[in-house]
C-alpha cells in the first residue's frame, strides 16, 4: 500500500501534520486539501495536543495548487464551476486554520509558494530552514494570487504585499524573516525540535486563553479577512478563465516560457 498523502501523528503536546507528496513537491491536489481539512478536525478534539506543526515531506514545503489538475479542468464543460469549487475549498482550508483553536506552527523546510505560501500565512508561528523560499509566482503563470493577497497584507502590510504580488517575487528565507513572514531560521534538522519547544511553551497557558487570543487576533483585529478571502476566491477563479491563464499553465507544464496574448 502507498503512504497517505497527509500524515498525522501525535507527540504530546504537539500534533504533526505532514504533506506527503514529495514527488510532486507537495502540490495541493483536491484530495490533499480534503485530507488536510480532516487532519485538522481530527486533532481539534485531541485535548492533549496543544499545538500543531505543519510541514512537508522531501525538499519542499508546498508548491501550491496542483497545476496539472487546473489544466485538466480547462477542458471540462463546467470548467469555471470546477475552478470556483477548487478555490472555495482552498479558502475554506485557510479559514479553518485561522479559526483553529490551537496555535499552528508552519515548519517551512523548502519552497513555500503560491497556495503553499498561503498555508504559511494562515499559520500562527513560522519557523524555516535556510533553504526555504517564499513567493507568489502566479502572474507568471497567467493567474493571480487572490486568496493569499489579503493574508499577506494582514501579516506584513500593503507595501510589502504589493512588491511580492506585483513582481511575482520568490524571496529567500533571510528576506522573508526580515519582513516578518518567517519568525525564526534554523537548521532543517532542528525544525521539529523547535516546534516541540513552542508547543511546550503554549501548554503552559490555559487552553481557553489561547483559543480566545487566536480569536481576538484573527477574527477581531483581522475582522475583514473573511470578506477579503471571499472576494479573493472570486477573483482567483475568474483569472483562470483568461487566455493568459491557459497559456501560462500550458507553458508551465511544457517547461517553456509563456507567449502572452497581446
Identify the DSSP state of 143. Answer: -
Give 157's contacts (C-beta < 8 A, 6+ positions apart).
none
Residues 6+ apart with CB under 8 A from 138: 114, 144, 145, 168
76, 138, 169, 247: the catalytic one is: 138
Q: What is the 8-class DSSP label of residue 240?
A: T
Q: Which of 51, 200, 191 is nearest to 128 (CA)?
A: 191
User: What's the Cα-to-Cα distance from 1 to each of 4, 21, 103, 155, rounded to whole Å?
Assistant: 9, 15, 33, 41
- Count of other CB atoms within 10 angstroms of residue 248: 25
Distance, CA of 55 to CA of 117 (rounded, Å): 12
Distance CA 94, CA 115 (A): 10
Is 3 a residue of the active site?
A: no
Rounded Cα distance between 173 and 90, Å, is: 24
Half-sphere exposure of 174 (CA within 13 A, CB side): 0
Distance CA 178, CA 229 (A): 25
C-beta of residue 106 within 8 angstroms of C-beta of residue 55: yes
Kindly list the catalytic residues: 138
Amino acid at each position: 500500500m502507498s503512504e497517505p498523502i497527509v500524515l498525522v501523528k501525535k507527540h504530546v503536546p504537539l500534533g504533526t501534520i505532514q504533506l506527503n507528496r514529495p514527488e510532486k513537491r507537495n502540490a495541493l491536489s483536491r484530495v490533499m486539501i480534503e485530507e488536510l481539512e480532516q487532519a485538522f478536525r481530527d486533532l481539534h478534539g485531541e485535548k492533549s495536543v496543544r499545538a500543531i506543526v505543519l510541514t512537508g515531506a522531501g525538499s519542499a514545503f508546498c508548491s501550491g495548487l496542483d497545476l496539472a489538475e487546473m489544466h485538466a479542468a480547462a477542458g471540462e464543460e463546467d470548467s469555471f464551476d470546477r475552478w470556483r469549487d477548487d478555490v472555495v475549498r482552498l479558502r475554506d482550508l485557510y479559514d479553518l486554520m485561522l479559526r483553529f483553536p490551537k496555535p499552528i506552527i508552519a515548519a517551512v523546510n523548502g519552497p513555500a509558494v503560491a497556495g503553499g505560501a498561503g498555508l504559511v500565512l494562515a499559520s500562527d508561528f513560522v519557523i524555516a530552514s535556510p533553504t526555504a523560499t517564499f513567493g507568489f509566482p502566479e502572474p507568471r503563470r497567467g493567474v493571480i494570487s487572490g486568496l493569499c493577497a489579503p493574508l499577506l497584507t494582514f501579516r506584513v502590510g500593503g507595501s510589502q504585499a504589493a512588491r511580492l504580488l506585483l513582481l511575482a517575487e520568490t524571496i529567500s528565507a533571510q528576506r522573508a524573516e526580515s519582513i516578518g513572514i518567517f519568525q525564526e531560521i534554523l537548521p532543517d534538522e532542528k525544525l521539529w525540535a523547535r516546534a516541540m519547544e513552542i508547543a511546550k511553551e503554549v501548554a503552559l497557558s490555559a487552553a481557553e486563553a489561547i483559543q480566545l487570543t487566536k480569536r481576538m487576533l484573527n477574527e477581531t483585529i483581522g475582522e475583514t479577512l473573511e470578506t477579503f478571502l471571499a472576494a479573493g476566491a472570486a477573483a482567483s477563479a475568474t483569472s483562470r478563465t483568461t487566455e493568459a491563464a491557459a497559456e501560462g499553465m500550458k507553458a508551465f507544464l511544457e517547461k517553456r516560457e509563456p507567449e502572452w496574448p497581446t
